[in-house]
Amino acid sequence: MRIRRSAALAAPVLALALLAGACGGGEDGGDEEDVPTLADIASSDMNPQERDTLQDGGTMNWAVSDFISQYMLHHTDGNLAVNVDILQSVMPRAHNFDDEGIPVPYEPFVLESSVNEDGSEVVFTLNPEAEWSDGEPITWEDYAAQVETLSGRTEGDFGHGGSAAGYRDIEEVEQGADEYEVVFHFSTPYGEWPGLFDVLYPKEYMEDPDEFNEGYLEDIPVTAGPFEVGEIDKTAQRVTVTRDDDWWGEPAKLDSITFATYEIDAMAGVFVNKEIDAFYVGYDAPSYERAQEREDARIARAIDNGYRYVEVNADRDALSDVDVRHAVMLGISRESLAAASLEGVEWPSDPTANRLIRSNQPAFQDNSGEWGARDPERAAELLDGAGWVLEEGAEVRTKDGEELVLEYVTPSGLQTTLNEAEITQQQLAEVGIKVEINTVPSNDFFNEYIYRGNFDLSSFVQVGSTPYAGESYENYGGPFGDGEEDWGNNLARTSTPEINDKYDELIQETDPERYYEIANEIDTLLWENAQGIPLFQRTGIWAVNERLANFGAEGMSSVVYENIGYTG
């Protein structure tokens, strides 16, 4: 099992998560002596144990915040972090990543991968034992079908959102020596190729738009992994996967994993009652304190591959003006939001965040420049220049008789998000912007509001499933497609030609130093275009059953599901 000339660089396939977290880039983690600095935070905290030391059997109950309906990850409605957690237990992926973000072929599916000297050709040697749950072998044709559809070349009304970075750069896929060797011909070098195929689907679900859009809707009909689907219970909002006895790799140590949906503020209680074995704590102080009441709890901490931010929807009338978006940026204190959100958890509260690079990666830096610190006076000047004036005696700015009112949408059951909204409401009122808070059911939050653009402001997390930065193009570039304007997974619904061009340059760069320079240039451009307001890196804090091994705060590394188990 080997990978040759693989890029040890970085670009996340970003998905969304309600649960927030933090980690900044500052030198001081806070006033309390027991609050760690970034140097104290591990790259991963998984309680690593050898497989043969673990007991066979048992169920892991994993609490999640969203019940999935669309299990096609590449569909716009399936772009959720919870989906990755579920699917990677039952579906193929080409590579895993270690703590440092270095890729290695995932041997049950890919025995070896290589790239030629000029980056124009990548070859996967597939495991001939790998097969789908319907008995069909996993061959080069499955990879080719995914490339053709995600690149946009397959005709049809596919519900795929985003730029398909990487896939669109593959101009041809062909069979190699046999059906278990696949050769990818790239039109331009793509240094992040190990991040492709983080979830692979059968060819028939990629070739037909109806199957793509509806085949994995409320079901996972065909699988291939150490686990198979046991039950999807819509009423109880639980997905249970069970050990697949036909799996050709190392057998799963667990009998089953149940992904159980809970309101975020309820997770600590069910953890203490031993109804669940693991949940992501993030920065919720009450949950952090309550979880430690369980006598066999282990609090895991690691640098996390994500960041918390306030999204600003440029598709709404007032926010379509970049000066108004910058005024919103300057009207709030990121420091205040970070401090309020992180109070009560042992984590650095520095609000430094980089959209593309994490603090344990090379060249991490703050690119906020003139836009990172609160400046109400300048915010007022920008609003005046944009025509939003504050009449004498008025509390809210107006333009052409219309008040400047922004809707901040928050999910139910997450007090910290409501706190962020209330602080934003108070601070923007000081510059004449009225903020109305709309709390919606957490299960409707993404599908009914965020994805559909039914908000002005909201806060959540972008989470990467690989260490790479280039696939964040789907979240910050666009518009995509040749016809009707399509922003795909770009929830800010704005970008610039310069940002798009820089992403093209980034994904072709094979020199690590220059790669990270370009990543920082992109992050700077995103500040200048006021695409969201980064608050802090996501906190990698988990509460887990202390007997649970090879699971916890994974940082940049991959979860190897068949190795999760309980110590004796």
The per-residue pLDDT for range 290-333, each reduced to its tens digit, is 999 999 999 999 988 888 999 999 999 999 999 999 999 999 99
What pLDDT does residue 19 have?
52
Indicate if the pLDDT at residue 24 is higher than 90: no
Please state, in angstroms and rounded to a whole number, the distance separating the CA atoms of residues 30 and 26.
10
What does the pLDDT average to over 495-516?
92
What pLDDT does residue 269 have?
98
Given a contact cutoff of 8 angstroms between Cβ atoms, the answer to whether 192 and 474 are in contact is no
- Determine, yes or no, domain membership for 253: no
Residue 389, both tokens: 């004036």
Confidence of residue 538 (pLDDT cuts 50, 70, 90): confident
In 3D, which of 131, 250, 257, 253 has the Cα closest to residue 200? 131
- Determine, yes or no, domain membership for 356: yes
- Determine, yes or no, domain membership for 444: yes
- CATH number of the domain residue 483 falls in: 3.10.105.10
The boundaries of the domain holding residue 381 are 306-538
> Which residues is 533 bridged to in the sheet?
310
- Determine, yes or no, domain membership for 438: yes
- Determine, yes or no, domain membership for 469: yes
Global pTM? Answer: 0.77
Indicate if the pLDDT at residue 1 is higher than 70: no
What pLDDT does residue 161 have?
59
Indicate if the pLDDT at residue 16 is higher than 70: no
In the three-class reduction of DSSP (H, G, I as helix; E, B as strand; rest coil), residue 393 is classed as: coil
Cα 233 to chain centroid, rounded: 25
Helix (H) or strand (E) holding 213, with range, is helix 209-214
pLDDT digits (tens, 9 = 90+) for 337-366: 988 888 888 887 777 789 999 888 878 899
What does the pLDDT average to over 89-98?
96
Q: Which of 28-37, 71-80, 113-122 has the lowest mean pLDDT?
A: 28-37
What pLDDT does residue 480 have?
83
Task: State the SS3 of 61-114.
Answer: EEEECCCCCECCCCEHHHCEHHHHHHHCCCCCCCEEECCCCCEEECCCCEEEEE
> Which residues is 238 bridged to in the sheet?
233, 260
What pLDDT does residue 8 have?
27
- Mean of all residue pLDDT scores within the chain: 90
36 vs 522, higher pLDDT: 522
- Determine, yes or no, domain membership for 489: yes
Given a contact cutoff of 8 angstroms between Cβ atoms, the answer to whether 183 and 121 are in contact is yes
In 3D, which of 108, 130, 132, 89 has the Cα closest to residue 227? 89
Indicate if the pLDDT at residue 523 is higher than 70: yes
What pLDDT does residue 26 have?
31
Please state, in angstroms and rounded to a whole number, the distance separating the CA atoms of residues 165 and 476.
12
Residue 296, both tokens: 């066999």
Considering only the C-alpha atoms of the chain, give the largest distance between any 2 of them, rounded to a whole number of Å: 78
Residue 257, both tokens: 């994993």
28 vs 561, higher pLDDT: 561
- Determine, yes or no, domain membership for 178: no
Confidence of residue 389 (pLDDT cuts 50, 70, 90): very high
Please state, in angstroms and rounded to a whole number, the distance separating the CA atoms of residues 288 and 291.
5
Indicate if the pLDDT at residue 35 is higher than 70: no
pLDDT digits (tens, 9 = 90+) for 62-74: 999 889 999 999 9
What does the pLDDT average to over 6-30?
37
What pLDDT does residue 387 have?
98
What does the pLDDT average to over 486-492?
89
Percentage of the chain with pLDDT > 90? 69
What pLDDT does residue 34 have?
57
Confidence of residue 235 (pLDDT cuts 50, 70, 90): very high
Confidence of residue 5 (pLDDT cuts 50, 70, 90): very low
pLDDT digits (tens, 9 = 90+) for 414-466: 887 899 999 999 999 999 999 999 999 988 998 899 999 999 999 998 877 67
DSSP string, 137-204: B--HHHHHHHHHHHTT-S-S---B-S--TTTTTEEEEEE-SSTTEEEEEESS--TTGGGS-SS---TH
In 3D, which of 469, 559, 417, 361 has the Cα closest to residue 21? 417
What does the pLDDT average to over 505-528?
93
Angle 333-291-557 from CA coordinates, rounded to 5°: 75
Question: Per the structure, how many domains does the chain have?
Answer: 1
Indicate if the pLDDT at residue 503 is higher than 50: yes
Please state, in angstroms and rounded to a whole number, the distance separating the CA atoms of residues 1 and 124.
11
Those residues whose C-beta lies under 8 Å from the C-beta of residue 485, and which sit 6 or more positions away, are 479
pLDDT digits (tens, 9 = 90+) for 160-214: 855 577 898 999 999 999 999 999 999 988 888 999 999 999 999 999 999 999 9
In 3D, which of 70, 94, 110, 115 has the Cα closest to residue 205? 70
Please state, in angstroms and rounded to a whole number, the distance separating the CA atoms of residues 202 and 317.
42
What's the burial of 282, exposed, middle or buried (CB within 10 Å: 0-12/13-18/19+)? buried
Given a contact cutoff of 8 angstroms between Cβ atoms, the answer to whether 37 and 348 are in contact is yes
- How many C-alpha atoms does 54 have within 13 Å on its Cβ side? 23
- Determine, yes or no, domain membership for 295: no
